[in-house]
Amino acid sequence: MDISHVDICCGLAWGDEAKGKIVSQFAKSGKYNFICRWGGGNNAGHTVYVNSIKYKTHLIPCGIFYDIPSIIGPDCVVNIKSFFEEVEYLKQNGFNTSLIKISSKAHIVTDKHIEDDIKELKQKQGTTAKGIAPCYSDKYKRVGKRAGEYADLSYFLWDEKLHGAVLCEGAQGFWLDINYGNYPYVTSSTTLPYGACSLGFSPKLINEIYGAVKIYDTRSGIDTDFPESLFDDEELNKIGEVGKEFGVTTNRRRKVNWLNICKLIKAINVTGTTSLIISKVDVLEQVNIFKLIDADNVIIKFDNMNQMKFYIETIIKKECKNIKDIIFSDSPYQINDKKEYFFNTTI
Ligand code: IMP
Ligand code: MG
Q: What CATH number did the domain enclosing 177 receive?
A: 3.40.440.10
Which atom from ligand 1 is nearest to the alpha carbon of 121? 4
The CA-atom distances, in angstroms, between 264 and each of 89, 168, 185, 189, 214 are 35, 21, 18, 20, 10
Domain range for 39:
3-345
How many domains would you assign to the chain? 1
Question: How far is the C-alpha of 71 from the C-alpha of 67, rounded, in Å?
Answer: 12
In the three-class reduction of DSSP (H, G, I as helix; E, B as strand; rest coil), residue 42 is classed as coil
Q: How many angstroms does the Cα of residue 13 sit away from the middle of ligand 1? A: 12
- Cα 145 from Cα 174, distance rounded (Å): 28
Q: How far is the CA of 78 from the centre of ligand 1 (A)?
A: 15
Under-50 pLDDT residues of the chain: 338-347
pTM: 0.95
| Nearest CA residue ID for atom 20, ligand 1 | 15
> How far apart are alpha carbons 154 and 148 in whole angstroms?
7
Ligand 1 and 254: CB distance under 6 A: no
User: What is residue 334's predicted lDDT score, i.e. its pLDDT?
Assistant: 85
Is 46 catalytic? The answer is yes
pLDDT tens per residue across span 192-240: 999 999 999 999 999 999 999 999 999 999 999 999 999 999 999 999 9
CA 286/CA 300 separation, integer angstroms: 19
Contact call for residues 137 and 176 (beta carbons, < 8 A): no
Spacing, Cα 319 to ligand 1 middle (Å): 29
- pLDDT of amino acid 247: 83
- pLDDT value at position 195? 97
Confidence at residue 339, expressed as pLDDT on a 0 to 100 scale = 46
Distance (Å, rounded) from C-alpha 343 to C-alpha 316? 24
Rounded CA separation 54/66 (Å): 14
Cβ–ligand 1 distance for 127 under 6 Å, the answer yes
Q: Is 271 helix (H, G, I), strand (E, B) or coil?
A: helix
* pLDDT score for 345: 39
Q: What is residue 343's predicted lDDT score, i.e. its pLDDT?
A: 43
Q: What ranges in the chain are assigned the alpha helix state H?
A: 19-28, 80-92, 111-116, 122-125, 132-141, 234-242, 261-271, 281-287, 305-319
- pLDDT of amino acid 219: 97
